[in-house]
Structure 1
Amino acid sequence: MIDNNSILQKLDGLVSRFEEVSTLITDPSVIADQQRFVKLTREYKDLGDIMDARKRYIACLNSIAEAKDILANENDPEMREMAREELSVNEELQPKIEEEIKIALVPKDPEDAKNVEMEIRAGTGGDEACLFAGDLFAMYKKFCEAKGWNLSITSVSEGAVGGFKEIDFAVSGDGVYGILKYESGVHRVQRVPVTESNGRMQTSAATVAVLPEADKFEVNINEGEIKWDTFRSSGAGGQNVNKVESGVRLRYMWKNPNTGETEEILIECTETRDQPKNKERALARLRTFIYDKEHQKYIDDIASRRKTLVSTGDRSAKIRTYNFPQGRVTDHRIGYTTHDLQGFLGGDIQDMIDALTVAENAERMKEAEL
């Protein structure tokens, strides 16, 4: 059991900050500064959750103290029985609230609340890798639908026999990055491909990248320097799709602050038949791309400090194997295995994500000495 006083001291120290933030978010000058306002609003929500836990924790400790007092000083059998029940319930509740508080006190990743841009690319394995990339996309699509999140495809390059060489898509909803960030890395599949006539098992791979979507005020882009082209989209959509130049392509020269080199960024978007909407999506992807590059140093710093952290964002790390002959999925970062391969590919991935979240929280608590 943790020392109650040390937990209460940590919580009491946050009361004045909660009151300060409560006042600040109603200040017109703070509301006018969008970047600061968004940051403080997130802090207010996080602190509000901690204050709620503090209230429940104090009530729990008080109930334990009162029950013990009754048992020590009261002779009425009925009162003593009620006190024993009260004590039992609250002694069981106490460690649960303490664990909740410990997790809440761990510094949160400010990116966790954001929407994401995801990329799935076929790796080694030719046509079979493209088919596997298609399986992974279907898995995430079903998972997002179950969560009530919105998924929209931004660009796609199909494989010769099905699946995708590459597919980029955006996911928006509540706390998306904090949940999907664990999916970044190399996913391997071991199975007999439908493209294999001799029935031999093959190992193929696809790479998944999960990028937090950048807010407008986080990235400085000189929109006047963007070169825009329009073109006719191809694909499903009837006659209109080939007659209207709804597809957009942007070119932007950007100086990488990490290397000092200037590079050209090229982004295409054919997501909708509406050209202005496609321009908006292309700009959002440009912001996210630059944000990701500029924050790579930050990610590398975290990765070097926390060698075993499950969500470093390292896209070259082999994180998971999908073994069809044995019907299992194994996550190599935490040694977690499920034998429900079909259910997993059907979008039932929450248990795996929960296990990864617990592992990361345990490391963060260790680091924060909680």
Structure 2
Amino acid sequence: MLSGRIDELSREYAAIERSMGDPGVLSNAAEYTRLTRRHRELTPLMTLWREYTGQQTQAEEARTLLSDPEMAELARLELDAAASRMAELEGELEVLLLPRDPFDSHDVILELRAGAGGDEAGLFAADLLRMYTRSFEGRGLKLSIADTSESDLGGYSRLVAEINGEGAYKAMKWEKGVHRVQRIPATETQGRIHTSTVTVAVLPQVEQEDVQLDLAEVRIDVFRAQGAGGQGVNTTDSAVRATYRAGTPDEIMVVCQDGRSQIKNKEKALQILRARLAERQREERVVSEREARSSQVGSGDRSEKIRTYNYAQNRVTDHRLSGDDKNFDLGSVMEGGLAPITAALERAEREVQLAEMTEHAPA
């Protein structure tokens, strides 16, 4: 029954609202942020639940009037309307009760790496960055670059950026994987279509207390920033390289050089390092680190893909979808119109979750 599943969440919601007025909580920024985030997550569910119980009350009141000859017809109409709306609300509540990704509201570390295709892959990485930036407009999400390595023609062989804003991971998690582009490169003289790839990693940022990072195992090096992004800071040693367990199989290296402050670059490098370490720990719970990493970003081989951008056919195909739902207009997508793809992927995931709930529901 819905009521049994929601009662516990209702108690949690009431407790959160009480705690948010507690002076002790108000003085603890981390705890207050955690509570407000959870409050936002539960509010849509609680809003629907209040409407559902209101409809229940209306139905009960209408039922008491069925025995009154003068009110019976009106009571039946109200009862039918309440029953219809309750059925709709039950469906919406079932969706909201589905398991949530605990990282949906977190900020994101985004990594783009050019794969197969050389300079053309680097140019496509720049196109993807523009696409993502356009998709954030009006959504309260902000992208800031932490480190870049430009390719010869002005693209990116590698790019690391932060995405900040409510629901950043929820908006971006569907992008992780290999993106394949099929088009005629600007350098192609014979009009042949080339296939190139860019691997995209999307890592949720984590709080310091959420991941065990021993700073004694991190080597910090400072150096002079170079290249695009470092031009405003290349008169001082402001760039920072943070290396976790240097020289071991567990080594993780992060470089931040796009900020003007060495302190800020160090903070950002450690933040990205925590996100990568947390991602590694999550992956190790499933399979070995190398296999898990390749399941997200792959090797960049042309045969691996989650999505294909076909310029000749003006079409984007998401290979995780099927039928007519998998194809989208290329021009719209490249201008930041990712919402239809994201909605289709979310809908497909909900359908799978609902089917699994039905299959495992008690008889």
Instruction: Please give the per-residue CA displacement for 1:148-186, whole angstroms capped at 9, x wherever unaligned.
Output: 211101111112123211111110100111221011111
Q: By how many angstroms is 1:146 displaced? A: 3.3
- After alignment, is 141-150 or 360-369 more displaced? 360-369
Residue 133 of structure 1 corresponds to which residue in structure 2?
125
Residue 54 of structure 2 corresponds to which residue in structure 1?
59
Mapped partners of 2:7, 2:336: distance in 1: 42
Mapped partners of 2:340, 2:34: distance in 1: 30
Residue 333 of structure 1 corresponds to which residue in structure 2?
320
1:161–1:43 distance in 2 versus 1, CA, 3 Å:
closer
Residue 4 of structure 2 corresponds to which residue in structure 1?
9
1:196 match: secondary structure: coil
Are positions 1:158 and 2:147 aligned together?
no
**Equivalenced residues, count:** 348
| 2:168 aligned to which of 146, 164, 176 | 176
Instruction: Please give the per-residue CA displacement for 1:45-102, whole angstroms capped at 9, x wherever unaligned.
Output: 44444333221111123334444655663436xx956973x45654553333212211
Instruction: Please give the per-residue CA displacement for 1:259-302, whole angstroms capped at 9, x wherever unaligned.
Output: xx65333221112111111111111111111111111134659x
Residue 362 of structure 1 corresponds to which residue in structure 2?
351
Counterpart amino acid of residue 182 in structure 1? W
Q: By how many angstroms is 1:214 displaced? A: 1.6
Instruction: Please give the per-residue CA displacement for 1:89-146, whole angstroms capped at 9, x wherever unaligned.
Output: 5455333321221122112111111100011111111221111111111100111233
Residue 314 of structure 1 corresponds to which residue in structure 2?
296
2:199 match: secondary structure: strand
Mapped partners of 1:95, 1:223: distance in 2: 54
Superposed counterparts of 1:1-370, under 5 Å: 6-19=1-14, 42-67=37-62, 70=65, 73-75=68-70, 80=73, 84=77, 86=78, 89-236=81-228, 241-253=233-245, 262-298=249-285, 314-316=296-298, 318-335=305-322, 336-369=325-358
1:262–1:133 distance in 2 versus 1, CA, 3 Å:
closer
Mapped partners of 1:230, 1:43: distance in 2: 38
2:137 match: secondary structure: helix
Mapped partners of 2:232, 2:31: distance in 1: 44
Mapped partners of 2:51, 2:20: distance in 1: 25
Over aligned residue pairs, what C-alpha RMSD do you find? Answer: 3.3
Mapped partners of 2:107, 2:215: distance in 1: 23
Residue 291 of structure 2 corresponds to which residue in structure 1?
none
Does structure 2 conserve the Cα–Cα contact (< 8 Å) formed by 1:70 and 1:80? no
1:19–1:221 distance in 2 versus 1, CA, 3 Å:
same
Q: By how many angstroms is 1:362 displaced? A: 2.0
TM superposition score normalised by structure 2: 0.83
- After alignment, is 277-286 or 354-363 more displaced? 354-363
Counterpart amino acid of residue 364 in structure 1? Q
TM superposition score normalised by structure 1: 0.82
Q: By how many angstroms is 1:368 displaced? A: 3.4
Residue identity (%) = 36
Mapped partners of 1:278, 1:238: distance in 2: 12
Does structure 2 conserve the Cα–Cα contact (< 8 Å) formed by 1:127 and 1:195? no
Give unmatched runs, 5+ long, in structure 2. Answer: 289-293, 299-303
Does structure 2 conserve the Cα–Cα contact (< 8 Å) formed by 1:122 and 1:129? yes
1:112–1:240 distance in 2 versus 1, CA, 3 Å:
closer
- After alignment, is 48-57 or 164-173 more displaced? 48-57
Residue 306 of structure 1 corresponds to which residue in structure 2?
none
1:242–1:33 distance in 2 versus 1, CA, 3 Å:
closer
Mapped partners of 2:42, 2:333: distance in 1: 35
1:235 match: secondary structure: coil
Q: By how many angstroms is 1:314 displaced? A: 2.8
Give unmatched runs, 5+ long, in structure 1. Answer: 1-5, 256-260, 302-311
1:56 match: secondary structure: helix
2:326 match: secondary structure: strand
1:162–1:88 distance in 2 versus 1, CA, 3 Å:
farther
Counterpart amino acid of residue 219 in structure 1? V
2:136 match: secondary structure: helix
2:181 match: secondary structure: strand
Mapped partners of 2:232, 2:173: distance in 1: 37
1:30–1:366 distance in 2 versus 1, CA, 3 Å:
farther
Q: By how many angstroms is 1:249 displaced? A: 1.6
Does structure 2 conserve the Cα–Cα contact (< 8 Å) formed by 1:235 and 1:241? no
Mapped partners of 1:32, 1:254: distance in 2: 38
Residue 301 of structure 2 corresponds to which residue in structure 1?
none
